[in-house]
């Protein structure tokens, strides 16, 4: 009779440490900080393993470390699956199981154990970097991602208009350089698709310098294109900055309205 309420309280406590939505403190919870350290260690290990001079002769050590990390990730995965129903937005454990982050957790665990069993190739080692995605679910990182997604959703029309405008400018710049430089530099500007590569590099202000106009008119057009690119990038940046600010304010207000369940003592 008394075991069930105790388990419920334990699950609630654990949920408030694992779920950033339920955690009422500032920043990341202590448990999520520890998990983030383990994930970063796993990412570092995955990166180091790609260097043959380091990996050769230490295969057994790397496999043992992967087994340890995989076991820790498995414990975290089971803990999240057990506590997920404490969040009102999660209707069932089945819903949590098929969520994006839960599937990412499961994939990271399977990859870790696959490498331990000797089935790890280049592809599986690269998949290990999915641990970077797992970092996004910890602490306020997940809230930030939600705010970014909400900002994009709320400004879809404005972003679409700016994207269409950008494509028009891109094709116009490529066409102009094709007409001016096409006969002089056929390899770089001999067609509109070829000139488009230059237009992309210029409008995005990257400027690789592998292709560039050599005529006076071409350089004038290139200057206009570069200045236009700065303005073109500033438009969606301003739209997203405003939308992101609104989303952050809404998220903070929603967090303040959360019930302080942690105030209840066991």
The answer to whether residues 100 and 155 belong to one domain is: no
pLDDT of residue 128: 55
Examine the fold and report which residue of 137, 166, 194 is the final residue of a domain before the chain moves on.
Answer: 137
The answer to whether residues 132 and 199 belong to one domain is: no
Domain range for 130 is: 6-137
pLDDT of residue 122: 47
pLDDT of residue 1: 47
pLDDT of residue 134: 61
pLDDT of residue 143: 61
Is residue 147 exposed (0-12), middle (13-18) or buried (19+ Cβ within 10 Å)? buried
The answer to whether residues 132 and 164 belong to one domain is: no
Per the model's pLDDT, the better-predicted residue between 3 and 70 turns out to be 70
How far is residue 237's CA from residue 231's CA, in Å, rounded to a whole number?
A: 10
pTM for the full model? 0.57
The answer to whether residues 122 and 44 belong to one domain is: yes
CA angle 234, 197, 232 (to 5 degrees): 10
Which residues 6+ apart lie within 8 Å of 198 measured at CB?
Answer: 174, 177, 188, 189, 211, 212
Task: Name the pLDDT band for 2 (thresholds 50, 70, 90).
Answer: low
DSSP string, 84-136: GGGSTT---HHHHHTSHHHHHHHHHHHHHHHHHTT---HHHHHHGGGHHHHHT
pLDDT of residue 197: 93
Per-residue pLDDT tens over the stretch 69-113: 888 888 988 998 999 888 877 778 888 888 877 887 787 777 767
Q: How many domains does the chain have?
A: 2
pLDDT of residue 224: 94
pLDDT of residue 213: 93
Per-residue pLDDT tens over the stretch 113-134: 765 555 555 445 555 556 566 6
Q: Which residue has the tokens 């942690």?
A: 262
How far is residue 259's CA from residue 257's CA, in Å, rounded to a whole number?
A: 6
The answer to whether residues 132 and 168 belong to one domain is: no
Output the six-digit token pair for 227.
């200045």
How far is residue 154's CA from residue 146's CA, in Å, rounded to a whole number?
A: 12
Question: Which residue in 162, 179, 151, 175 sits closest to 229, CA to CA?
Answer: 162
CA angle 260, 263, 264 (to 5 degrees): 115
Q: Is residue 1 part of a domain?
A: no
How far is residue 67's CA from residue 104's CA, in Å, rounded to a whole number?
A: 18
Task: Name the pLDDT band for 263 (thresholds 50, 70, 90).
Answer: very low
The answer to whether residues 229 and 203 belong to one domain is: yes
Angle between helices 100-116 and 59-83 (to 10 degrees): 150
pLDDT at 215 over 90: yes
The answer to whether residues 129 and 246 belong to one domain is: no
Question: Which residue in 233, 28, 46 sits closest to 127, CA to CA?
Answer: 46
pLDDT at 261 over 50: no
Output the CA–CA distances (angstroms, integers) from residue 36 to 63, 111, 116, 130, 232, in the order listed: 21, 18, 22, 13, 37
How far is residue 199's CA from residue 205's CA, in Å, rounded to a whole number?
A: 10
Output the six-digit token pair for 249.
């304010």
pLDDT at 19 over 70: yes
């Amino acid at each position: 009779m008394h075991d069930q309420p105790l388990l419920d309280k334990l699950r609630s406590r654990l949920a408030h440490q694992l779920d950033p939505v339920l955690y009422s403190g500032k920043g990341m919870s202590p448990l999520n900080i520890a998990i983030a350290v383990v994930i970063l260690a796993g990412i570092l290990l995955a990166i180091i393993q790609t260097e043959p001079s380091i990996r050769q002769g230490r295969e057994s050590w790397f496999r043992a470390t992967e087994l340890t990390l995989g076991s820790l990730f498995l414990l975290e995965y089971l803990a999240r699956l057990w506590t997920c129903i404490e969040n009102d937005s999660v209707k069932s454990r089945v819903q949590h199981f098929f969520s994006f982050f839960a599937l990412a957790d499961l994939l990271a665990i399977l990859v870790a154990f696959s490498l331990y069993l000797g089935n790890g190739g280049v592809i599986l080692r690269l998949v290990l970097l999915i641990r970077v995605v797992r970092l996004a679910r910890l602490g306020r990182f997940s809230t930030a991602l939600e705010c970014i997604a909400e900002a994009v959703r709320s400004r879809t029309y404005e972003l679409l208009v700016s994207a269409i405008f950008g494509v028009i400018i891109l094709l116009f710049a490529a066409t102009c350089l094709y007409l001016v430089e096409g006969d002089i530099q056929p390899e770089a500007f001999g067609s509109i698709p070829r000139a488009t590569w230059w237009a992309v590099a210029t409008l995005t202000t990257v400027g690789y310098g592998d292709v560039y106009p050599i005529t006076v008119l071409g350089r004038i057009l290139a200057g206009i294109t570069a200045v236009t690119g700065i303005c073109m990038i500033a438009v969606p940046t301003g739209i997203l900055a405003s939308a992101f600010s609104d989303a952050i304010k809404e998220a903070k207000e929603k967090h303040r309205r959360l019930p302080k369940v942690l105030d209840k003592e066991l």
